[in-house]
């Protein structure tokens, strides 16, 4: 089982530049995206029931290895990281091509798992695009999963119903947050994680040309800025709490926030 993981900045630690309104990410801690972590937990549980091996795969940089230590401590057996400076800023289309090539170099697999989306882009595209590139069936929005006799049986969480589906292995599965609660590794497993194999690949190592891959990236982010927020600074003046409450209610109604 191969689990696709992405390390993202810890959102609560990101500050904004007061002049440019751009996020300041330098020095901010990174961690595996929470929904991806649930995909990893699902894979580990499947291994505990039926055996097998769990491998983590990620695209990133020098800091990604540190972030992926938690996945090894949780129970992944090995980790692979594509670390190529030229791949920074790729869109989901190009990213999927890189991951497809990396998967081919890892070897045979029965199941590819990923979160339905990462918490930085919320695109929900990498899993489906990867399945298309690999020519594999895909099951999305999975909240329950089991494997038996070469078949994946999953429960999909849709808007108003749950859908039960089956697919022959190998298959790409993306999970939702509700599938589980990831385990917290103990100290012994954290220490063991540092001794588990981690392989770092460049673009050349997995047979890719940086410029050719970048030509498949069609979405280019020009800037990321926080919206301008201007407070109206309405001051309520009153001689009593009752009068202040009444004036506040009138102000809220005048703004259209509540109806009278």
**pLDDT tens digits, the chain, 260 residues: what are they?**
999 999 988 888 888 888 888 888 888 888 999 999 999 999 999 999 999 999 999 999 988 999 899 999 999 999 999 999 999 889 999 999 999 999 999 989 999 999 998 877 788 889 999 999 999 999 999 999 999 999 999 999 998 899 999 999 999 999 999 999 999 999 999 999 999 999 999 999 999 999 999 999 998 888 888 888 788 888 899 999 999 999 999 989 988 888 76
Coil, helix or strand at residue 3:
strand
The separation between CA 242 and the C-alpha centre of its own chain, rounded to angstroms, equals 49
- Same domain (yes/no): 242, 148: no
Q: Is residue 243 part of a domain?
A: yes
- Same domain (yes/no): 49, 92: yes
- Same domain (yes/no): 122, 251: no
* Burial group, residue 201, by CB count within 10 angstroms (0-12, 13-18, 19+): buried
Rounded Cα distance between 57 and 61, Å, is 13
- Same domain (yes/no): 96, 25: yes
């047979």: which residue's tokens? Answer: 207
Q: Is residue 219 part of a domain?
A: no
- Same domain (yes/no): 189, 253: no
The answer to whether the CB of 98 falls within 8 A of the CB of 134 is no
The separation between CA 180 and the C-alpha centre of its own chain, rounded to angstroms, equals 15
Q: Is residue 220 part of a domain?
A: no
- Same domain (yes/no): 251, 171: no
Q: Is residue 179 part of a domain?
A: yes
Per DSSP, helices labelled H in 119-164 are: 126-134
Q: SS3 breakdown of the chain: % helix, strand, coil, rounded to 5?
A: 35, 25, 40
Residue 122's pLDDT is what? 80
Q: What pTM value is reported for the model? A: 0.84
| Tokens describing residue 9 | 């900045």
Buried b (16+ CB within 10 A) or exposed e, 138-160: bbbbbbbbebeeeebebbbbeee
Helix (H) or strand (E) holding 243: helix 241-254
- Same domain (yes/no): 197, 239: no
User: 238: domain range?
Assistant: 230-260
Residue 20's pLDDT is what? 87
- Same domain (yes/no): 17, 96: yes
- Same domain (yes/no): 68, 133: yes
| Tokens describing residue 33 | 């995206």
- Same domain (yes/no): 109, 150: yes
- Number of domains comprising the chain: 2
- Same domain (yes/no): 200, 240: no
From the list 221, 217, 7, the residue with the least C-alpha distance to 91 is: 217
Q: Is residue 224 part of a domain?
A: no
Q: Is residue 222 part of a domain?
A: no
Write the CATH number for 9. Answer: 3.40.50.620
Q: Is residue 223 part of a domain?
A: no
| Tokens describing residue 135 | 């020519």
- Same domain (yes/no): 242, 169: no
Q: Is residue 225 part of a domain?
A: no
């Amino acid at each position: 089982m191969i689990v696709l993981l992405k390390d993202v900045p810890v959102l609560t630690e990101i500050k904004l530049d007061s002049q440019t309104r751009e996020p300041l990410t330098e020095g901010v801690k990174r961690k595996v995206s929470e929904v991806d972590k649930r995909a990893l937990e699902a894979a580990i549980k499947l291994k505990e029931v039926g055996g097998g091996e769990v491998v983590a795969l990620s695209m990133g940089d020098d800091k990604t290895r540190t972030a992926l230590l938690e996945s090894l401590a949780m129970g992944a057996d090995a980790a692979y990281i594509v670390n190529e400076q030229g791949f920074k800023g790729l869109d989901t289309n190009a990213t999927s091509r890189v991951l497809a090539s990396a998967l081919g170099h890892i070897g045979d697999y029965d199941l590819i798992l990923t979160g339905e989306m990462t918490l930085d882009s919320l695109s929900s595209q990498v899993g489906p695009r990867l399945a298309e590139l690999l020519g594999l069936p895909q099951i999305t929005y999975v909240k329950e999963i089991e494997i038996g006799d070469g078949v994946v049986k999953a429960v999909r969480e849709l808007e108003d119903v749950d859908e039960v589906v089956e697919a022959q292995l190998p298959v790409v599965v993306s999970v939702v947050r509700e599938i589980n609660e990831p385990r917290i590794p103990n100290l012994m497993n954290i220490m063991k994680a540092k001794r588990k194999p981690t392989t770092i690949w460049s673009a050349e190592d997995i047979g890719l040309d940086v410029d050719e891959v970048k030509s498949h990236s069609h979405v280019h982010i020009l800037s990321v800025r926080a919206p301008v927020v201007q407070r109206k600074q309405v001051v309520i003046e009153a001689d009593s709490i009752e009068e202040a409450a009444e004036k506040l209610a009138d102000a809220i109604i005048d703004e259209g926030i509540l109806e009278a």
